[in-house]
Amino acid sequence: MGVILEAKNLHLAFKGVKALVGVEFRVAEGEFFAVIGPNGAGKTTLLNVLSGVYEPDEGEVTFLGQNLRGKSPQERARMGLARTFQGLEIFRGMSVLDNVKLGAELALSTYPLALPRAQREWQIRAWAEEVLDYLHLSPFRHAPAGMLPYGLQKRVEVARALASRPKLLLLDEPMAGLSLEEKQDLARFLLDAQEEWGVTLLWVEHDLRAVLELSDRVLVLSYGEVLYHGPPQGVRQDPKVAEAYLGQA
Amino acid sequence: MYPLSKQLTDAFSRRFARAVRETYREDEAYASTPLGRLALGVFLLFLVLLPFLLSPYPMYVATLVAIGALSALGLHLLVGGAGQISLGHAAFMGVGAYTASHLYGPLAFLGILLGGGIAALLGLVLGLPSLRIKGVYLAIATLAFQFLADYVFKNWEGVTGGIRGRTLPPAELFGLALDTPEKLWYLVLFFTLPLFFYGKRLLMTRAGRAFMAVRDNDLSARVAGVDLVRVKLMAFALSAFYAGVAGGLLTQLYKAVTPEYFPLTVSIQYLAMVIVGGAGTVLGAVLGAFFVLLIPEVLNSLVGALGPQYAATLAAWRNVAFGLLILAFLILEPLGLVGLWGRMRNYFRTWPLPY
C-alpha cells in the first residue's frame, strides 16, 4: 500500500513553547492511524498543521505526493483532506441536511459547470441522504444541528466530513464525551467508512482502549516529540511511553 | 357511498393536496406540490393586478413596501445569511439613488441597474474590513461608511446637488411615462420579482450554505472548503446591489433624491426589519418590511381618524407606540414574524387533530 500522508521533521513553536519537535511519521493508504499522548503533547497542534490552520516553522507535509506548504485549509479540503474538531464545530444554525450538503459539495465540485443548478442540487441531496442514512441521521435531517443532543452533533460533524468523500479524514477526539454505546456506534461507522469508501483515518483520541483495539498503527507524542511509532501492541510495552503517558508504576 | 367518497378524496389528494413530497428531487424543487404551484400563481397574479385593486395612496404605500422589502432582503442576505453586520445599508441605497437620478426618462431602467452595480462595487470595498474584523467592530466600520456617504451626498454638489438634492422627470418605457405609483409598480415588480427569486434560491443552494457556514462557524467553514474571502465579499456586494437597485426604484417613486432620504436612522430601520421579520428566511425580510413600513402608516391613519385637534400631541406618541410595538414583539416572539407564521401554519395544517 502506498503512503498517503508523510510528515517530515515538523517543528512548530509558540513563543518558546515547543509544540512540535521534529515530528516524523507516515500514514499508509487505507489504514486507521492513531495519535495519542498526554495533555499538551501537541496532538491538536499536529492536526492543525496537517489541515492547514497553522504553518509549521520547519519541515514539510506531503499528501498524495504533493507538498502542502502554503496551501490554505480550503485548498487542502479540496484535495481530499477532511477534518473534524475537538470542540463541536458544526454549523449550529443550519439543518443537519445542510451541514452534510456543505460537505458533499466538495465531493461533487470537480464538475460543477457541467450541471445545471437544480440538477446539481438534487444530486448533492441524493449523496447527502446516502451519508445521512449511513450514519443513522436521516430522521433528524431537517432539525437545526445545534438543537440535537451532543452525541448526535458529533455524528453530524463526522457526517459532514465524510460527505466530502475525503481520502484522509482527520478526527480530533471524536469519542470525547460520548457514552460507551455511542462510542461503539461511532467506531463501527468509522470502520465501515474505512472499508467501504476506502477512507484513510487519522485520529487523535484519549480513550486508550478504543485506540488500541481499533487502530492499525499508533503514534505517541509527548511535549511535541515522538515517543513511539508502530503497531498498537507495542505501545504498552514501550518503556518511554509508559513513563510519559501511562504513568510510572 | 363510502367507497365513492373515499375515491374522490383520494383522487383529490393525489391531484392537488399532495403535501408529501415523495422524492428528494421534489423536495428540492421550488413550489413542488400542485397546491404550492397554484398558490404561487395566484399570488403572482395578485401582484400583477394590484394596481387595479388599490386606490392611489395605498398603491403608493404598497410600492414603498415592495421597494423596502427588496432592500431588506439585501440586508437579510448579509446579516441573516452570511452573519456580517452592516450599519451602512442606507448609504448603499443612496448610492443607487443618486446614480439613478442621473439616468432618467427612457434611461431609468439602465440607471437603476447601474445604481445597483456601483453600490455593489462599493460593497466590495466595504467588505474588505470584514475579512479582518467581526461583530461590533465591523458595525463601527460600516457606521463610518454611512457617515462618509452622508457627507459626500451633502457636499459633492456637482453630482448630488448638495443639501437640496436632485429632482428628475418620471421614468419612461417605450415613450410611456411611468409617472404614477400604479405604473411604476410594474417597474418595481420587474426588478423585485427576479431578485427575490434569486435571493431565495441562493439561500437554498450551495452559495447560501457557504454564507450560513461562515455565519455559524468560520473556522470550520474554512476547513470544510469554503473560501471565506470570496463569501464575505460576495455577501457584501450582493447586499449592496439589492440596496442600490432599491434606492434607484425609490428615486423613481419620489422623483427626487436628497441626503435626507438616507440617514443612519434608515440603516437602523432596515436592521430592525431583518430582526423583526425573523432570522433565516426570505419571508422574514418581507414580513419585516411590511411591519416596519406599514405600522407607521396605520398609526398615522389612526391619528388622522381621531381628528385634527389631537394630531400634534398624538404625532409624538406615534413614534413611542411604534418603538413599544417592536420591543414587545422581540420579547414575545423572539423568532420574529416568521416564527409566528410557522406556528400558525402548523396549527392549520394539523387543524382538527393537532397531535
Smallest Cβ–Cβ distance between A103 and the set B201, B217, B224 belongs to B224
Domain match, A220 and A198 both: yes
Question: Pick the residue with more confidence: A171 or A108?
Answer: A171
Per the CB < 8 A criterion, the answer to whether A211 and A205 are in contact is yes
Min Cα separation A119/chain B (Å) = 8
Strands A17-28 and A3-14: antiparallel
Residue A92 sits at the chain B interface (C-beta within 8 Å): yes
Residue range B207-211: mean pLDDT, rounded: 85
The enclosing domain of A184 has a CATH number of 3.40.50.300
Contact check, Cβ <8 Å, A93/B212:
yes
ipTM of the complex: 0.77
Sign of CA dihedral B183, B185, B188, B190: negative
What local confidence, expressed as pLDDT, does residue B335 receive? 67
- What residues does each domain of chain B span? 57-263, 290-304+314-355
The 10s digit of each residue's pLDDT in B313-325 is 766 777 787 788 7
Mutate to test the interface with B, among A48, A71, A113, A121 (most CBs of B within 10 A): A121
Region A71-100: what's the mean pLDDT? 84
Lookup: cell for A159: 457526517
The pLDDT tens digits of the residues spanning B88-137 come to 999 999 999 999 988 877 788 888 999 999 999 999 998 898 888 888 88
For residue B348, how many other CB atoms are within 10 A of its CB?
8
What proportions of chain A, in percent to the nearest 5, are helix, strand and coil? 40, 25, 35
Among the candidates A116, A146, A163, a domain finishes at: A163
| Within a domain: A86 | no
Question: Closest partner residue to A94 among B24, B216, B223, by Cβ?
Answer: B216
Q: What is the pLDDT of residue A112?
A: 42
**Residues A192 and A247 occupy one common structural domain:** yes
Choose among B28, B213, B219: nearest Cβ to A102: B213
Q: What tens digit of pLDDT does each residue of A126-168 get?
A: 888 888 988 888 888 888 888 888 888 888 988 988 888 888 9
Interface check for A115 against chain B (CB to CB < 8 A): the answer is no
Q: Does A121 touch chain B (CB under 8 A)?
A: yes
| Mean pLDDT across B78-90 | 88
Strands laid side by side in the A17-28 sheet:
A17-28, A3-14, A58-63, A66-67
Q: What is residue B19's predicted lDDT score, i.e. its pLDDT?
A: 53
Residue B172 bridge partners (DSSP): B177
- Cα distance from B30 to chain A (closest Cα, Å)? 9
Residue A155 Cα to chain centre, angstroms: 13
Q: Is the pLDDT at A110 greater than 50, yes or no?
A: no
Please report whether residue A181 resides in a domain.
yes
Cross-strand pairs, A226 = A221
**Between A74, A91, A161, which is nearest B217 by CB?**
A91
User: What average pLDDT is seen over chain A?
Assistant: 83
pLDDT in tens, B260-307: 889 898 898 898 888 887 756 778 888 888 888 888 788 777 777 777
- For chain A, positions 21-60, list CB contacts with chain B under 8 A: 51-53
Give Cβ neighbours of residue A134 (< 8 Å, ≥ 6 apart). A159, A162, A189, A192, A193
**Interchain CB contact of A79 with B (< 8 Å):** no
pLDDT above 90 (res B241): yes
Which of B32, B214, B223 is the best substitution to test chain A (most A C-beta atoms within 10 A)? Answer: B223
- The percentage of residues in chain B with a pLDDT greater than 70, rounded to a whole number, is 85
In this predicted model, what pLDDT tens digit does every residue of B47-58 receive, in sequence order? Answer: 888 888 888 888
Same domain, A207 and A230: yes
The pLDDT of residue A246 is 59
- Take residue B332 and report the three cell numbers written for it: 414575545
Q: How confident is the model at residue A113 (pLDDT cuts 50, 70, 90)?
A: very low
Mean pLDDT across chain B, nearest whole number?
82
Q: Does A67 touch chain B (CB under 8 A)?
A: no
A62 shares a domain with A178: yes
Exposed/middle/buried for A234, CB within 10 Å: 0-12, 13-18, 19+? middle
Least confident stretch, A6-20, B181-195, B327-341: B327-341
Least confident of A189-198, B20-29, B111-120, B264-273: B20-29
- Would you say residue A85 lies in a domain? no
Tell whether A54 and A120 lie within a shared domain.
no
Of A91, A109, A117, the CB nearest to B216: A91
Residue B350 class from Cβ within 10 Å (0-12 exposed, 13-18 middle, 19+ buried)? exposed
Same domain, A64 and A39: yes
Do A60 and A179 belong together in one domain? Answer: yes
pLDDT above 50 (res A76): yes
The pLDDT score that the predictor gives to residue A249 is: 47
CA-nearest of B60, B99, B52 to B179 is B60
Q: How many domains does one find in chain A?
A: 2
In a mutational test of the A interface, the residue from B220, B226, B281 whose CB has the highest number of chain A CBs within 10 Å is B220
d(CA A109, CA B337): 36
One domain for residues A68 and A176: yes
Helix (H) or strand (E) holding B67: helix B56-76
Please name the residues in contact with A19: beta carbons below 8 A apart, sequence gap of 6 or more.
Answer: A12, A13, A42, A45, A224
Residue A102 to residue B29, Cβ atoms within 8 A: no
Q: For chain A, positions 141-200, list CB contacts with chain B under 8 A.
A: 160-161, 164
CB contact under 8 A, A122 and B206: no
CA distance A162 to A158: 6
Chain B partners within 8 Å of A156 (Cβ):
none
Identify whether residues A131 and A172 lie together within a single domain: no
Query: End of a domain among A139, A163, A187?
Result: A163
Angle of the B56-76 helix axis to the B34-53 helix axis, nearest 10: 130
- Domain enclosing residue A116, as ranges: 91-163
Using the 3D structure, point to which of A163, A197, A214 is the last residue of a domain: A163
- Asked if residue A116 belongs to a domain, the reply is yes
